[in-house]
Amino acid sequence: MYDFDTTPDHRHNHSYRWDMADMPDDVIGMGTADLDYFCAPCIRDALIPIAEENCYNYRQRTDEYYDAVTGWYERNYGLHVRKEWISSVPSTIGAVRMALGIFAKPGDNVIVQTPVFQPLQWAVDGADCNLIPNPMRIVNGHYEIDFDDFERKIIETKPAAYLLVNPHNPTGRVFTRKELETLVSICAAHDVKIISDEVHGMIVYDGNEFTPLLAVNDKAKEIGIQVVSLSKGYNIMSLPHAIITIANEEMQRLWMRQIQAFSFGYATNSFSIQAVTTIMEGKADEWMKELTEYLKGNLDMILSFIKEHDLPLIPYKPEGSFLLWIDCRKAGIGDTALDKFFMEKAHIHLDDGEENFGPEGRGFIRINFAVTRKDLKEALGRILKAFAS
């Protein structure tokens, strides 16, 4: 039903990925984590009446909005969410930063699996906290959590919070329910709050199942702050709207006390509210199904191309998201500033691992494969020529 082979011209719409000042005219944007595609038509249909009204007064979150959010969690994950658990702020990273400001104090430790997305490091730094790395292990070509290291560091450093990123960025891991139960059990035993960034949870492959934090068990509801945005899955980055779900009554009270000072109850975007309501009502479900199939085809194309041409790259197949984490350490192109190599040799914009994800990212790149098949084929051809030369 939907065409993912035709997109807007992102070289002329101020896209970070395609339209920055220092990029060549023929650049292929495979960096920043947004989609190239047109949004689901139901989003446009929902927003046109607001624009035609041309009145942007203070808007309430209606019962329709709350029913859509609670229905989304019930329908997709079997998670019963109460209206009073729900609030929203304009940014997922902003929500993480605010949560750290409430549930940690300056000088406290915050533990997180690494490699870690740089803006999350900024959130920890901005709260004047210390990031405690729990490096993920590569086992048989697969990233896994080092639970022994995780628990040992919690005992030794006594962190105030654990920053969970699920699905994980950049490795693409979708943590299993069993893994999440273990993480929750350790944190509950040591009085560690969990802040869960779930922004990539809409797109999963090959029978993997995403589990929201509060759907894990009752312990998770007692210590969890669940943060989600539809921005990544439905390409509404410039309609920012993060939904925060907190079940613990005292934690919810502390959270609401904080966000009231920012006037987020009034300072809402009417377009964002309507887009989120429309999506969570299920009107974009078929679009998401077809998008996931298209992205899976793109992923399979990259993996097959690397294998067929024996490129000196080791890709880690993601279980979710539209981002591919690739080890370039045996490619003979160095371990640092790899984004510059691909820009200079292939005119491809992508993300350098160390610069964007810390020390564990050294020698890696992250590629956004949410592009058209035509652009993807062109990019792969350029990469092949870059290594051939």
DSSP 349: E
The mean pLDDT of 351-360, rounded to a whole number, is 97
1 lies in some domain: no
- The amino acid that residue 302 corresponds to is I
Residue 62's CATH number: 3.40.640.10
* Four-residue CA torsion sign, 20, 14, 95, 360: negative
The pLDDT of residue 22 is 86
100 lies in some domain: yes
The mean pLDDT of 4-26, rounded to a whole number, is 91
For the stretch 241-297, pLDDT in tens is 999 999 999 999 999 998 888 878 787 899 999 999 999 999 999 999 999 999 999
The pLDDT of residue 261 is 85
Q: Is the pLDDT of residue 377 over 80?
A: yes
Of residues 66 and 13, the one with the higher pLDDT is 66
Number of Cβ atoms within 10 Å of the Cβ of 9: 9
The pLDDT of residue 48 is 98
* Four-residue CA torsion sign, 171, 172, 176, 180: positive
Residues in the chain: 389
Residues 164, 102 share a domain: yes
Q: Is the pLDDT of residue 11 over 90?
A: no
Q: Is the pLDDT of residue 353 over 80?
A: yes
Residues 128, 86 share a domain: yes
Q: Is the pLDDT of residue 20 over 90?
A: no
* Percent of the chain surpassing pLDDT 70: 100
Rounded CA-CA distance 353/355 in Å is 6
92 lies in some domain: yes
The pLDDT of residue 264 is 81
Rounded CA-CA distance 1/200 in Å is 24
Structural Rg of the chain based on CA atoms: 21
333 lies in some domain: yes
The pLDDT of residue 53 is 96
Look at residues 282, 306, 330 and tell me which one is the last residue of a structural domain.
282
Q: Is the peptide bond before 359 cis (omega within 30 degrees of 0)?
A: no
370 lies in some domain: yes
Tell how strand 242-245 and strand 86-89 pair up: antiparallel
Range of the domain at 244: 56-282
Q: Is the pLDDT of residue 336 over 90?
A: yes
Look at residues 258, 282, 306 and tell me which one is the last residue of a structural domain.
282
Residues 249, 334 share a domain: no
The pLDDT of residue 306 is 98
What's the pLDDT band for 300 if we cut at 50, 70, 90? Answer: very high
Q: Is the pLDDT of residue 138 over 90?
A: yes
The mean pLDDT of 163-175, rounded to a whole number, is 98
For the stretch 194-225, pLDDT in tens is 999 999 999 999 999 999 999 999 999 999 99
Residues 262, 319 share a domain: no
Tokens linked to 289: 């199904």
Q: Are 268 and 56 in contact (CB under 8 A)?
A: no
Look at residues 267, 282, 297 and tell me which one is the last residue of a structural domain.
282
274 lies in some domain: yes
The pLDDT of residue 368 is 98
The pLDDT of residue 184 is 98
Report the candidate in 111, 25, 24, 32 with the shortest Cα–Cα distance to residue 367.
32
Residues 268, 234 share a domain: yes
Residues 260, 340 share a domain: no
The mean pLDDT of 354-382, rounded to a whole number, is 98
Residues 84, 133 share a domain: yes
Q: How many domains does the chain have?
A: 2
Residues 264, 212 share a domain: yes
Residues 275, 182 share a domain: yes
For the stretch 31-48, pLDDT in tens is 999 999 999 999 999 999
The pLDDT of residue 209 is 97
With both helix axes pointing from N to C terminus, report the angle between 177-189 and 147-157 in degrees, rounded to the nearest 10: 20
What's the pLDDT band for 311 if we cut at 50, 70, 90? Answer: very high
* Percent of the chain surpassing pLDDT 90: 94
Residues 113, 22 share a domain: no
Average pLDDT of the chain is: 96
Residues 33, 73 share a domain: no
Residues 86, 33 share a domain: no
The mean pLDDT of 162-179, rounded to a whole number, is 98
The pLDDT of residue 160 is 98
What's the pLDDT band for 176 if we cut at 50, 70, 90? Answer: very high
Q: Is the pLDDT of residue 383 over 90?
A: yes
Q: Is the pLDDT of residue 120 over 80?
A: yes
The pLDDT of residue 333 is 95
Rounded CA-CA distance 89/78 in Å is 24
46 lies in some domain: no
The pLDDT of residue 389 is 82
For the stretch 94-117, pLDDT in tens is 999 999 999 999 999 999 999 999
Q: Is the pLDDT of residue 118 over 80?
A: yes
273 lies in some domain: yes
The mean pLDDT of 147-173, rounded to a whole number, is 98
Report the candidate in 375, 376, 253 with the shortest Cα–Cα distance to residue 303.
376
Residue 366's CATH number: 3.90.1150.10
